[in-house]
Amino acid sequence: MKNLKKQDREVYKSIMGELKRQQEGMELIASENYVSEAVLEALGSVFTNKYSEGYPGKRYYGGQEYTDVVENLAIKRAKKLFQAEHVNVQPLSGAPANMIAYMALLQPGDTILGMDLSHGGHLTHGHPVTLSAQIYNFVRYKTKKNGLIDYKELEAMAIKHKPKLILAGFSAYTRQLNYAKFRSIAKKVGAITMMDMAHIAGLVAGKVITNPVPYFDVVTTTTHKTLRGPRGGMILCKEKYAQAIDKALFPGFQGGPHENNIAGKAVAFGEALKPSFKRYAQQILKNAKTLEKELKKYGFKLMFGGTDNHMVLVDVFGSKGISGKEAEVALDKVGITLNKNMIPDDPRKPLDPSGVRIGVPAITTRGMKEKEIKKIANWINDALENHQDTKKLKLIHKEVISLCKKFPLYK
Ligand code: DSN
């Protein structure tokens, strides 16, 4: 970054600060990851200068010889990764991807049956504060005491509310979904099926979780979580919905796509097609299982009974009498970053809920395995049980930094 360093010290220093924070911190936010140097290079490329409204071969401006090449590459690789009939790689991120899918498939006022937020769903799946909740009528299904989705209730709600769309997917749910069940319930009531696989896309690409794409009419995702690509979104769908999705994206919702970002997606999808990515996905599952077991040993209560994916949702208030917010702050002090999170039917408030969500994709990218996970679980327990002991927290922080340095990032 020699030019930036010379020209703009303030921005340069903030980037260097962030780099150091990432290098020395234990990143346990379930939705974060580290892209490769190759993806970073594509993101910082001259494609950022180019307008390219439209799609390969059908653009509104000239000079598209190379944008078409890179966008076609991203599409081809994504199709291969997820066995998709049609792919749109232009969504700027997950929230716009979901909005675009709703626009393509529904009319204002139509009913969507989606997962309750406190049971693991996502803001863009109809939380009252969102624009989509003002446009569409959302009804919400929940999980049962054993942690699985209550498919009987889902079916009864589908029959009662006659949704035009049934939505699967989550941001804080740890169990495998029964895709066939979603499909059969939707068929019974004539609904379209959509899944938001943002959290698990990398596990699907690595073939350690069943691919939802063959089961659902439309699948949305982000590209920067377990999939380990640049910050962005993507929509995969059956050919039947291809035109509606493409039109809803442009001119319906977005303007010029970010081709530097699409170049980064193409690189990341190329990486995800390699055998090493499968090994990465396998290790994520092993690490998450180890975290589940270790935290249980320390007396933590895990929501949904445990995990089948890359994260756990822990009731820290119920387990240790410390709120999710207090836990997040205490762990920040020892260099462990995670987020407070609601637990199903949380009696506490969203900004100070009962739980924390812990994910392993980022630390798995750094090469950490079961041995390191055991240490991390020990630190989490120690920090939460002694969250008012400044000396103790400082000591843990030193150990965290020292472990992170053994797994260097961007050497
Ligand atoms: N922010 C992402 C997450 O943490 O799940 C998606 O909202």
Q: What is the pLDDT of residues 263-309, one digit of tens each?
A: 999 999 999 999 999 999 999 999 999 999 999 999 999 999 999 99
Query: How far away, in angstroms, is 97 Cα from ligand 1 center?
Result: 14
Question: Which numbered atom of ligand 1 lies nearest the CA of 32?
Answer: 4
Query: How far away, in angstroms, is 186 Cα from ligand 1 center?
Result: 26
Distance CA(310)–CA(248), nearest Å, equals 32
Does residue 367 contact residue 407 with C-beta atoms inside 8 Å? yes
Distance CA(222)–CA(196), nearest Å, equals 9
Q: What is the topology classification, in CATH, of domain 276-405?
A: Aspartate Aminotransferase, domain 1 (3.90.1150)
Per domain, the residue ranges of the chain are 40-272, 276-405
pLDDT reported for residue 267: 99
Beta strand extents in 185-280 (DSSP E only)? 192-196, 218-222, 233-237
The residues of the chain scoring below 70 in pLDDT are none
Does residue 232 contact residue 224 with C-beta atoms inside 8 Å? yes
Q: In what order do the strands lie in the sheet with 311-315?
A: 301-302, 311-315, 355-359, 339-341
Closest by Cα among 103, 165, 101 to 139? 165
Residues with CB under 6 A from ligand 1: 31, 122, 171
Rg (CA), the chain: 22
- Shortest-distance Cα residue to atom 2 of ligand 1: 31
Does residue 349 contact residue 216 with C-beta atoms inside 8 Å? no
Query: How far away, in angstroms, is 171 Cα from ligand 1 center?
Result: 6
- Decide which of 3.10.20.600, 3.30.360.10, 3.40.640.10, 3.30.1330.30 is the CATH code for 40-272: 3.40.640.10
pLDDT reported for residue 300: 98
pLDDT reported for residue 118: 86
Cross-strand partners of 149: 143
Question: Which numbered atom of ligand 1 lies nearest the CA of 199?
Answer: 5
User: Which amino acid, 291?
Assistant: L
- Shortest-distance Cα residue to atom 5 of ligand 1: 171
pLDDT reported for residue 117: 87
- Shortest-distance Cα residue to atom 1 of ligand 1: 31
pLDDT reported for residue 145: 87
